[in-house]
Amino acid sequence: MKWILYIVLLEVSHCYVNVALNKPAYQQNPFKPNYSTGDASNAVDGQKSDLSRSGGQCVISAGSVTATWWVNLTSIHSIQKIIIYYMTDNKPWGTTNYYTGFFLGFSVYVSNSTYRQQGTLCYKDSNFTLETIPAVVNVVCPVHGQYVIYYNERLTEISYPESYKLYAENNVCEIEVYGCPVTGCFGSNNSLPCLDVNCQYCHKETGTCQMCKPGYKGQTCELECNTGKYGDNCTRSCGNCQSQSQCHKVDGSCSGECAAGYKGRLCTDRKYYF
Ligand SMILES: *[C@@H]1O[C@H](CO)[C@@H](O)[C@H](O)[C@H]1NC(C)=O
Ligand SMILES: *[C@@H]1O[C@H](CO)[C@@H](O)[C@H](O)[C@H]1NC(C)=O
Ligand SMILES: *[C@@H]1O[C@H](CO)[C@@H](O)[C@H](O)[C@H]1NC(C)=O
Ligand SMILES: *[C@@H]1O[C@H](CO)[C@@H](O)[C@H](O)[C@H]1NC(C)=O
Ligand SMILES: *[C@@H]1O[C@H](CO)[C@@H](O)[C@H](O)[C@H]1NC(C)=O
Ligand SMILES: *[C@@H]1O[C@H](CO)[C@@H](O)[C@H](O)[C@H]1NC(C)=O
């Protein structure tokens, strides 16, 4: 009898997901106050079938000297790439499209704060033209961060190519941020989710946790912070809650009253009596 061994080579898919989906988003210059048709959150609503200005699936900004849009991933994620879908008004892209010239010169940052300069510049366009800028931009940026920031500027002291529109805008219809889900990924091609539930990110090859989420510690992030400690790796000391057990393990805030003589969210401020 002859045994035939079939080796099935499975295409192992990435464990990456769109970690920006439905996360809090912000824009510096909204077109109008409380204008849901152009709200910053439209870029993370998962909808990109209608790329028009009026469709309610895109962000609309007021033209200005600088344009900033960001999404808060709500915790540090391992990011792989960012895909931007520009507003086209559902019309042909390129030289004839009204919007193309607003996007020339754009930048994409990943940061741990809302300040782009504190983060990593993933991409800065200095080369695209009305003919070459794609309507869907793919920015590969394998870094860890919490905020993805789209930025553009039209500074008065700089002279731009003629094709650049006079003002900067951030009219994007969707910004997808592909990265590891909250628990992270590891293995060949990052195809497996990290093993430890409370892990912020794990070793790319072995899956062992390299950094626990705030509030947890231990080899496999299995331990909550000891009483009186909180935050990243449980390294921060609680303030003066009435009882130390009322100190929140993640952010250190007190769920009850402060001990006599203290005030503030963390009960770290001295109360003075006159
Ligand atoms: C990793 O991804 C690359 C490109 O997508 C693919 O060619 C390769 O077969 C993958 N490797 C494994 C082990 O899945
Ligand atoms: C905008 O929304 C905020 C909060 O939802 C509200 O307080 C404010 O009155 C609204 N402004 C206008 C102009 O509708
Ligand atoms: C981002 O999200 C985190 C977690 O929800 C929150 O604590 C933080 O304040 C947010 N950042 C901003 C700038 O709103
Ligand atoms: C954000 O913080 C993490 C953990 O401290 C760090 O590894 C990463 O490099 C930081 N990202 C950026 C863009 O500064
Ligand atoms: C600039 O654009 C041209 C034309 O699209 C392209 O061939 C070239 O590789 C680009 N250079 C850089 C540095 O991106
Ligand atoms: C967390 O603390 C442990 C014990 O002090 C240390 O070995 C480890 O490197 C720390 N990890 C991080 C990400 O700070």
Ligand 4 touching residue 214 (CB < 6 A): no
Beta-bridged to residue 117, according to DSSP, are none
Strand bridging mode 172-179 / 66-86: antiparallel
Q: Whose CA is nearest to atom 3 of ligand 4?
A: 144
| Contact (CB, 8 A) for 244 and 227 | yes
**Which residues form the pocket of ligand 5, taking CB atoms under 6 Å from any ligand atom?**
127, 132
Q: Which amino acid does the sequence have at 167?
A: Y
The share of the chain scoring above pLDDT 70, in percent, equals 93
How many angstroms does the Cα of residue 211 sit away from the middle of ligand 6? 8
For ligand 3, say whether the CB of 72 is within 6 Å of any of its atoms. yes
Query: Does residue 115 belong to any structural domain of this protein?
Result: yes
Residue 235 maps to a domain: no
Burial annotation 152-168 (CB, 10 A radius, 16+ → b, else e): bbbeeeeeeeeebbebb
Instruction: Compute the distance between CA of residue 21 and CA of residue 164 in angstroms, rounded to an integer.
Output: 30
Name the nearest CA neighbour of 252 among 221, 271, 225: 225
Residue 2: is its pLDDT beyond 60? Answer: no
Domain-embedded: residue 219: no
Beta bridge partners of 150: 69, 108
Residues at CB less than 6 angstroms from ligand 1: 12, 188-189
Ligand 1 atom 6, closest CA: 11
pLDDT tens digits along 238-259: 999 999 899 999 999 999 999 9
> What's the structural domain count of the chain?
1
Q: Which of 181-185, 227-231, 248-252 has the lowest mean pLDDT?
A: 181-185
| Ligand 2 center to 34 CA (angstroms) | 6
The reply to whether 205 falls in a domain is no
Instruction: Give the model's pLDDT for residue 78.
Output: 85
CA of 256 to the centre of ligand 6 (A): 30
Pocket test for ligand 5, best of 106, 125, 127 (most atoms within 8 A of CB): 127
Q: Whose CA is nearest to atom 12 of ligand 6?
A: 211
3-state secondary structure of 110: strand
Q: Which of 59-63, 94-98, 206-210, 251-255 has the lowest mean pLDDT?
A: 206-210
Instruction: Looking at the chain, list the stretches that DSSP marks H as alpha helix, in order from N- to C-terminal side.
Output: 100-103
How many Cα atoms within 13 Å fall on the side-chain side of residue 115? 2
CATH of residue 9: 2.60.120.260
Whether 216 is in a domain gets the answer: no
Q: In this predicted model, which residue has the larger pLDDT, 206 or 7?
A: 206
Residue 58 lies in a domain: yes
- Which amino acid belongs to residue 192? L
Q: Is residue 110 part of a domain?
A: yes
Question: Residue 76 sits in which domain range?
Answer: 5-179
Cβ count near 52 (within 10 Å): 14
Q: Which ligand is nearest to the CA of 79?
A: 4
SS3 call for 38: helix
- Asked, for residue 198, whether it belongs to a domain, the answer is no
